[in-house]
Amino acid sequence: MAAGGFCKLPNGSVVVALNLPSPGSGSGSVRVLVLAQNRARALTRLRNLGLRAVYLRGNAAPPTPDEVTAVLHHPDGLIWRTAPENATELSQELWHPIRALLRQRTAHS
């Protein structure tokens, strides 16, 4: 089961954050952020992109304020980066548009 969480913004929209297994041949996981009107729509956006087995159970790993800022400033409202190995370390990697993850996924299939 993927770790994840959400936070509701003052305008009523929701930012959902999920740690998913890396689609490439390498081990590890990626942190995906989605901006949507509600949690169900956020998960539907991911499923429509081909990430079928995506579920959000609980709120164990909600998005940080920096993550919320990053997804709000991206035109697609859907970004990812490699997740750190443990929850206490911060990732220095920049955020990528979801297209880059999907290209990586199809290249390894």
Q: What is the pLDDT of residue 108?
A: 55
Question: What amino acid is encoded at 41 in this protein?
Answer: R
Q: What is the pLDDT of residue 87?
A: 60
Q: Using alpha carbons, select from 8, 12, 21 the residue that is nearest to residue 63.
A: 8
Q: What is the pLDDT of residue 32?
A: 92
Q: What is the pLDDT of residue 39?
A: 93
Q: What is the pLDDT of residue 57?
A: 86
- The two tokens of residue 88 are 């206490």
Contact 19, 72 (CB under 8 A): no
pTM of the full structure: 0.84
Check residue 20 and report its DSSP letter: E
Q: What's the CA gap between 103 and 50, in Å, rounded?
A: 12
Low-confidence stretches of the chain (pLDDT beneath 50): 1
